[in-house]
Amino acid sequence: MELYRIEGGRPLGGSVVLPPAKNSVLPLLAASLLCGGPVLLRNVPRTADAETSLALLRVLGAGAEWTTEGVWVKSGEKLENQLPQELASAMRSSVFYLAPLLHRTGRVTMPLPGGCRLGPRLIDIHLDGLSRMGARLSWQQRTLTLAAPRRLCGVDYTLRMPSVGATESLMMAAALARGGTILRGVACEPEVADLAAFLNACGADIHGAGTPTIRVRGVEELGGTDFTPLPDRIIGATLVCAAAAAGGRVRLENGRMGDMRDSLTLLRRMGCAVFEDDGITVERDGILRPVGMVSTGAWPGFATDCAPLLAAALLTAGGESTIRDTLFEKRFACAAGFAAMGANVAVEGRQLTIRGVEKLRGARVKAPDLRGGAALILAALGAEGVTLVEDAGHIRRGYPSLEKVLCELGAAAKKNEAAEGAE
Ligand code: EPU
């Protein structure tokens, strides 16, 4: 079991280059199976989910390896089409393999995908959209099979809600489908536009990604490419919220204001100074102001993944803040850890209410999920004394080495196996 040890009370200072975004890399790795030529994804960091994806690609018969440049994927001539239970259930992103394997093998069998326990995480839109394109769905208990003996067909399809993953699945399916596809009511997150840019670089014909309507003209085949995925805006938000929680000044050298406006606007409202040049700098000096009531939402709304991170900074703000998560039921499982550190927090349904306290103190807490675990680390940076964050394996799913980055910024953070780190 991984365990973080944080000694709080040190302001942060320094500059960071953000790695490519996990939520871009994971669909890109799956989409590489659609490509006839080799794919290089540059600078991909070794998050646990990227490692699981490479293991999955290899089990399916593709070549996938890390090099100093990034990750190379070479889709095999002959691919397996059954996703093994242990890999499929290790991450939500196993759902991205449905459309590529349908195209490549005409059939795919997959146990239900795993991922952070944030409440029910349905995949009905992925399945409905693929069925409309001609795939036949059948279930055996919790394992699904999709079969498409003939090439998938283009459709005019409206998503019942702007799911990021379903938009990405259907865009992959449409890229090689027979005829044109119009996807309406889609997600507009930057990672969706990144996947379209990647597929277009491989020869696809996709327009409108980043807007609510995507138009795709299906092509016969895709080639390979050399692609650098966009910088990770959620790691960016984590580090600037760390500066807000601990005090100090953090610069994101390749931070993109357009991708992070939601959290930066709120940090400004809280009294942080936010500067933009060719990167982004956030500085906190003094007590933060509360934000009142805010809700998460689909892009360009406040990103759900950033809600616990911002909450960590608000624990010592001078007043009351409420954050409502509109996407996931159990977004604030980290509240128990915040409370153990002396925070005044209450969860009611999807809503977290925070009454700022003067200070937090170190405690032994458990990471409930990826972003909740990162949020506990941020709270610990601003707390007095030592905090131990147990079950921290979740954190490695999305942060290649958070402890190292935080140490480079002046924090006292270590990661150990639990037996060594316990006090
Ligand atoms: N939903 C459905 N049916 C579907 C798909 C989604 O009802 O077919 C619902 C889900 O149950 C959920 C909501 O729609 O309540 C949002 O799901 P969405 O499909 O938009 O999210 P996702 O694709 O599963 C991605 C990110 C998440 C991020 C969300 C929202 C990846 C690999 N994951 O998930 O990232 O929270 O979008 O922005 O891209 C994380 O990085 O920690 C993380 C959880």
The Cα 48–Cα 115 span in angstroms is 12
- Which atom of ligand 1 has the smallest separation from the CA of 191? 39
CA of 166 relative to ligand 1 center, distance in Å: 8
The Cα 58–Cα 7 span in angstroms is 40
Beta strands in 112-236 (DSSP E): 136-140, 143-147, 156-158, 180-184, 205-207, 213-217, 225-227
Length of the chain: 423
Helix axis angle, 307-314 relative to 233-246, nearest 10°?
10
Residue with tokens 């616990």: 308
- Which atom of ligand 1 has the smallest separation from the CA of 123? 8
CA of 107 relative to ligand 1 center, distance in Å: 24
279: three-class secondary structure by DSSP:
coil
Torsions phi, psi of 408, nearest 5?
A: -60, -25
Ligand 1 first shell, C-beta below 6 A:
23, 26, 92-93, 116, 120-126, 161, 163-166, 187, 191, 234, 303-305, 327-328, 370-371, 398
Going residue by residue through the chain, which has 423 residues, state the pLDDT in tens, using 9 for 90 and above.
Answer: 899 999 999 999 999 999 999 999 999 999 999 999 999 999 999 999 999 999 999 999 999 999 999 999 999 889 999 999 999 988 899 999 999 999 999 999 999 887 667 777 899 999 999 999 999 999 998 899 999 989 999 999 999 999 999 999 999 999 999 999 999 999 999 999 999 999 999 999 999 999 999 999 999 999 999 999 999 999 999 999 999 999 999 999 999 999 999 999 999 999 999 999 899 999 998 999 999 999 999 999 999 999 999 999 999 999 999 999 999 999 999 999 999 999 999 999 999 999 999 999 999 999 999 999 999 999 999 999 999 999 999 999 999 999 999 999 999 999 987 544 433
CA of 371 relative to ligand 1 center, distance in Å: 13
Contact 411, 386 (CB under 8 A): no
Question: Shortest CA distance to 16 belongs to which of 238, 191, 190?
Answer: 238
Tokens in use for 327?
A: 């996407």
Pick the catalytic residue from 35, 116, 306, 334: 116
Would residue 116 show up in a list of annotated catalytic residues for this protein?
yes
DSSP 88-108: HTT-GGGGGGHHHHHHHHSEE
